[in-house]
């Protein structure tokens, strides 16, 4: 699995992770899967973390997810995956993350973060049996650059 993220969206995730610290930040990843199998993230949707203990867990606000699902019915894009941060933790899935895989087709971006933002980010995809497999992540320059 290979994910591509635009630099401006990475910056948005970075700012979100910093602003949520010491709580876990979360967001939804929207885009398309190309014919070559690359999951091209075209935008991110910042979501509120409604977990009962947001310093240790994340739960995407279902109102955000439902609103997005309705909006995307009219488009070619869909929700490719989720992002969340591990404040002062590591950029890899935890045992809790592995236990909370509800959608096997969703890619995951997981970042270690501190009060200044992302210190490391990793991409993952649910494994066939249990846990996660590593995925490749490319952060590319935004398509619209230059002065015209």
- Whether residue 45 contacts residue 53, with contact meaning beta carbons closer than 8 Å, is answered with no
Domain positions in the chain are 2-140
pLDDT at 21: 97
pLDDT at 143: 72
Q: Which residues of the chain have pLDDT under 70?
A: 144-148
pLDDT at 137: 97
Q: pTM value?
A: 0.92
Q: First-to-last CA distance in the chain?
A: 34
pLDDT at 147: 46
Question: What is the topology classification, in CATH, of domain 2-140?
Answer: Cytidine Deaminase; domain 2 (3.40.140)
């Amino acid at each position: 699995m290979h994910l591509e993220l635009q630099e401006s969206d990475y910056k948005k995730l970075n700012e979100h992770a910093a602003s949520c610290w010491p709580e876990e930040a979360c967001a939804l990843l929207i885009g398309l899967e190309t014919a070559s199998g690359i999951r091209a993230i075209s935008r991110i949707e910042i979501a509120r973390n409604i977990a009962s203990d947001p310093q240790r867990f994340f739960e995407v606000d279902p109102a955000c997810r439902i609103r997005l699902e309705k909006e995307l019915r009219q488009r070619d894009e869909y929700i490719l995956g989720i992002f969340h941060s591990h404040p002062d933790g590591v950029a890899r899935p935890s045992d809790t993350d592995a236990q909370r895989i509800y959608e096997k087709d969703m890619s995951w971006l997981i970042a270690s973060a501190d009060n200044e933002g992302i210190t490391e980010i990793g991409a993952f995809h649910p494994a066939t049996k249990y846990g996660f497999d590593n995925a490749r992540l490319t952060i590319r320059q935004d398509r619209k650059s230059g002065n015209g």
